[in-house]
Amino acid sequence: MRKYWPAVVVASAFLLTPRITFAQEQAGTAKAAATAEAAVGTAIADRALTGAAETFKAADTKTLYCFSKVTNAENSDIEHVWYHNDQEVARVKLHVGGSPWRTHSSKNLPDDAAGSWRCDVVQDSTVIKSVAFKVE
């Protein structure tokens, strides 16, 4: 048994080292910040935005949709915050189940919808994307 003892110690150390190193690498890795791509349009069809534009005619448009593709935010919540002339008019909480994750919210336009609008994609009180548009 004495002549095998050094071999057992060396083999054990060799087998355990990769696991310890891997655990240390995982603990030291910072999670990437959430990012989003977003646009505003007139409809959602086949899980995609249609009618995307920077200007919409109030007479032709009753509802607008903010469509976003969010990355690095799995198992968390985001919000779509709608603004009309820099005044918040709606806040929609959306769950992000994976990465990347597509989601959307909608806003029914009031009769006095003309003006500057934007929809911010927000996570943990931080705006990760903002989409500005006009309604004429």
Is 88 part of any domain? yes
Interatomic CA distance for residues 91 and 8, integer angstroms: 63
DSSP state of 32: P
Write the single-letter amino acid at 36.
Answer: A
Is 107 part of any domain? yes
Is 129 part of any domain? yes
pLDDT tens profile 10-47: 555 555 555 544 444 455 566 788 999 999 999 999 99
Is 103 part of any domain? yes
pLDDT band at 4 (very low <50, low <70, confident <90, very high): low
Domain residue limits at 94 = 35-135
pLDDT higher than threshold 90 for residue 106: yes
Kindly list the distances between the CA atom of residue 21 and the CA atoms of 7, 11, 25, 93, in Å, as whole numbers in the listed order. 22, 16, 6, 39
Q: Which residues pair with 84 in a beta bridge?
A: 87, 117
Assign residue 125 the CATH number of its domain: 2.60.40.1930
Interatomic CA distance for residues 15 and 98, integer angstroms: 34
Number of domains in the chain: 1
